[in-house]
Chain A
Amino acid sequence: MEFEAVIGLEIHIELNCATKLFCDCPNNPGDEPNINTCPVCLWFPGASPRLSRAALEKAALLCLSLNAEIQSTSAFDQKVYYYPDLPKGYQLSQAHLPLSRGGWIDITDEDGSVKRLRIHHIHMEEDVAKLVHEMEGRKPVSLVDFNRAGAPLVEIVSEPDFRTPHHAMEFLKALRAQVRNVGSSECSMENGTMRADANISIRPKGTSQMNTKVEVKNMNSVRHVGDAIAYEISRQSAAVQAGEKIVLHTRLWDPEKKVTTPMRAKFEGPCVPDPCVPVIKLSGAEIEALRARLPEMPAVRAERFVKQYGLSAEEASYLSTDAEMAVYFENLIKEGVAARTAMHWLTTQLMPAVKDKRQELWQTSVTPARFAALLKMLAKDEINANAAREVLTHLFESDESPEAIVSAKGFKQVSDRGEIDSLIDKVLGDQPGAVADFKNGQAKALGFLIGQAMQASGGKANPKVIREILTKKLEALCKA
């Protein structure tokens, strides 16, 4: 029997707000344990939660970036359970009246067609504390770090529209691009600012029944989500073929062994309306004001880049995914760099260098103005590509202008024909073997001789001029 999978995702995203959701504590979970705490996030007697407006706005922008419909009324509920990571016996979450309903992401399916994957709803909630299990001698102890308690989260619950691992991975990539683009979160699965759980069930292909699902957790990259879903589909298919019954439970993805294993069932508590956090009312005008703050969406921007700058669809889509990169690209163009040069040097040289130095594009010392000055010298043949790459590494280390670096370090390209001419004569004299090879019709020898001439110039000669003069001289030698 052929099976198809029915997959839905539940995605938690940590908002990059300065403070926690219900108090003014810094939202820096990675700080020294229990530094970022106060009577509210430790839930001391008499403390009273105050909803952060910044968190609400970031959450709402996130919803709008995913085509979701912000609700005029939303409210917090108490998800009741007792666990040491939860300082008050319940988690504040929106169970009955979520911040938004609906929404979708369009992805490109494996056959190239567009597939729309729908979102059921998006709600806000607070994160819980972090538990650290250690041994004090032979006695196991559990330590609680409340820095993360009360951190602002949103949870995106999709419709079960996904059928393949590809759908889930493409959905997550597009989601990350769109949310990063509005600036609500970094959405890094590796750093834990985005966590995705998958609900997977299978059914005979072509039927519409909904069978018992299995939840899979603990994937910390988009790739792992795809792998875990693929594994789970084959595991369930094999189980059903063998006549086993699928039971509702949760499994953990093991990235080492690349398998899912069952985990102990977590107690599901009830959700009761919270009487302390005020109900959130958003008027149509307020929602429109938020919508007006939305930046250009990646897909729209990519289309514009194709039209405006003549980039290919792939190039435009790659540049548009990252809002910072797209902005940087357009700044280079404003500085007078040709679109193709800007695209090529930004994506193949600057981005890897920035990443390598663990910097962010918006705060690197290689500003669009400095990088553009370098690329313009390249365009005018004042330096060659090798030199440009060298100068780029210097740009990271000093505040000097590219022009100053080029003249100080002697990167200026030599295009003087007389100088190159004598250089080539010397190379031809030193390499009679290569000249003989060329005469015998071995075209490779030309490349070798160009390289030798380049080396002789200390990498500064204009390669075009070398090739031109060398070719002429070799042809003359052949005729002689």
Chain B
Amino acid sequence: MDSVFFYRNTDKTVSSSGALRKMKIALQPNISVAGWPTEAGSNALAGFKALENATVAERAVKESAQLVGYTRMSEFGFGLKDSMAGAALKKNAADAELVLDLAGEARLSAARAGVCGFKPSYGLVSRFGLAGLIPSMEAYGILSSEIKNIRDILQSVAGPDERDSSLPDEKTPELKPAKINPKKTTLGVIKEILKEMPAKERESFEGKLNEFKKAGFTIKELSFPDFSQFLAVHKIVGSVEASSCAGRYDSVRYGKREPGAKNWNEMYLSSRGAAFGTLLKSYLIQGAYFQFEGYSAYENACRLRARLVNQMKSLTGHSDFIILPAINTAAAENSATLAETYAQFIYTAFANVTGQPALYLPDKKGEGLQLTAARLADGRLLDMGEYLISGGGK
């Protein structure tokens, strides 16, 4: 059994003229490619083969990318357990990977692999063909050691798609590279995050801020007392959407049906009970709880989400980029429970709640940074990433 790939594409034919020529891209098996086993890491889709190509896959192939296969993933992309995202890059089996980012999975996989991980703005890339879980938060993360690869892929796949009507009706922003001038660039730091960081991490983080200051950037302290609420909102709203989204995996039209049920209520219970793994099951049950019993908490979470989005908008207006940590070193490496999974995403879930872009940049010590900017400032964020990765314009 291949430890990294769930499915390898043997068809190597590619057109030679596109912007992604010679680029090998690995996908997760929740991204439809017609005829491939799009099982999304779940027994609920065991044996399911996609009928159509996801827009991202179609557009990447149109630009001459070579889709090398599906990497092993956690069930429906939730959490990092069982995910091999990033491993194909480490093994040089791909130049880039597309990894679903529900709460920060793509960025943290990049951290594990020591590569760049980018989550684009919500609504920039069509989700048509994605066997998703949290429609209002999920985005395709792009992993690569080169920011240029990330930018080329984003430019190839971004933009309106009539097959995904959830895309906001707005102009695709400029994604072409542009220069960064440190003297004209302000970097924001959220003081409440800094305050909560363990001493050792904080020291390292502040060390980096000093380097930025030396390079000529203006560092600005920002206040966001409610930052920790992002995860609370994500827990409630995300799990409610996931519970609905997984409703279609009922064994009626596809997927495996458990034998022996005496009626359809039993059929649902036994088939869905057998199909989903423990982590996803507890996630879906949590969502069902907020749909049925805790609906008022869900309503409050939606209101709180709107408020947090506005607060973040005002914050990103006060600086060009915001710098944050990405990895919670206090969290268990291999999360098995809901609580452990959430603990991993305390610094990343905010961008899924607001829909703003976020970029993980690795460093040699494995203490990478996370950068974010206003929604649709994806091009500028990649400019900044390029600037920092290349050693600060030296």
A residues touching B (Cβ–Cβ < 8 Å)? 39, 42-46, 48-51, 78, 80, 82-84, 87-90, 142, 144, 269-270, 272-278
Count of inter-chain pairs, beta carbons less than 8 A:
91
Q: B260 to chain A: closest CB distance in Å? A: 13
B135 and A276 within 8 A (CB)? yes
Let me know if B314 is at the binding interface, CB within 8 A. Answer: no
CB pair A82 B244 closer than 8 Å: no
B128 and A48: CB pair below 8 A?
Answer: yes
Report Cα–Cα, A45/B3, bound state, in Å: 25
Tell me if A275 and B163 are in contact (CB < 8 A).
no
23 A–B contact pairs at CB < 8 A?
A39-B51, A44-B51, A44-B248, A45-B30, A45-B38, A46-B52, A46-B128, A46-B129, A50-B163, A50-B165, A78-B244, A80-B247, A80-B292, A82-B265, A87-B253, A89-B246, A144-B252, A272-B298, A274-B244, A276-B135, A276-B165, A276-B166, A277-B165
Chain A: minimal CB distance from B350 (Å) = 18
Contact of A272 with B291 at beta-carbon distance under 8 Å, contacts A48-B165, A48-B166, A87-B252 already known: yes
A45, B247: Cβ atoms closer than 8 Å: no
A45-B48, A46-B38, A46-B128 in contact; A89/B163 too (CB < 8 A)? Answer: no
A45 and B264 within 8 A (CB): no
Q: A89-B244, A274-B244 are in contact. List 7 more A-B contacts (CB 8 A).
A: A44-B253, A46-B54, A48-B127, A50-B162, A83-B264, A89-B250, A276-B166
What chain A residues lie within 8 Å of B165 (beta carbons)?
48-51, 276-278
- Chain B interfacial positions (CB closer than 8 Å to A): 30, 32, 38, 40, 45, 48, 50-52, 54, 127-132, 135-136, 162-166, 240-241, 244, 246-248, 250, 252-254, 264-265, 268, 291-292, 295, 298, 302
What is the bound-complex CA distance between A186 and B208, given in angstroms? 70
Contact (Cβ within 8 A) A278 B166:
yes
Among B131, B164, B253, B265, chain A packs the most CB atoms within 10 A around the CB of B253
Interface residues of A, dominant DSSP:
loop
Q: Which residues of A contact B163 (CB under 8 A)?
A: 48, 50
Bound-state CA distance A43–B132 (Å) is 12
Cβ distance B314 to chain A, nearest Cβ, rounded Å:
23
- Residues from chain A with Cβ under 8 Å of B254 in the complex: 44
Q: Are A46 and B253 in contact (CB under 8 A)?
A: no
- How far is A273 from B247 in the complex, measured between Cα atoms in Å? 15
CA distance A45 to B254 in the complex (A): 10
Q: Known: A45-B38, A84-B252, A88-B247. Is A275-B268 also a contact (CB below 8 A)?
A: no
Q: Which residue of A lies closest to B288 (CB)?
A: A80
Residue of chain A at shortest CB distance from B127:
A48
Contacting residues, chain A, for B248 (C-beta < 8 A): 43-45, 87-89
Which of A51, A78, A275 is within 8 Å of B136, CB to CB?
Answer: A275
CB distance from B233 to the nearest CB of A (A): 14
Complex Cα distance A269/B291, Å? 9
For residue B78, give the distance in angstroms from its CB to the closest CB of chain A. Answer: 15
The smallest beta-carbon distance between A284 and chain B, in angstroms, is 19
Q: Which residues of B contact A50 (CB under 8 A)?
A: 162-163, 165
Closest CB in chain A relative to B316 CB, distance in Å: 23
B247-A82 in contact (CB<8A):
yes
- Min CB distance, B183 to chain A, in Å? 42
Minimal beta-carbon separation of A275 from chain B (angstroms): 4
User: What distance in Å separates the Cβ of B189 from its nearest Cβ neighbour in chain A?
Assistant: 32
The interface residues of chain B lying within 8 Å CB-to-CB of A274 are 244
Query: Is A46 in contact with B166, judged by CB distance below 8 angstroms?
Result: no
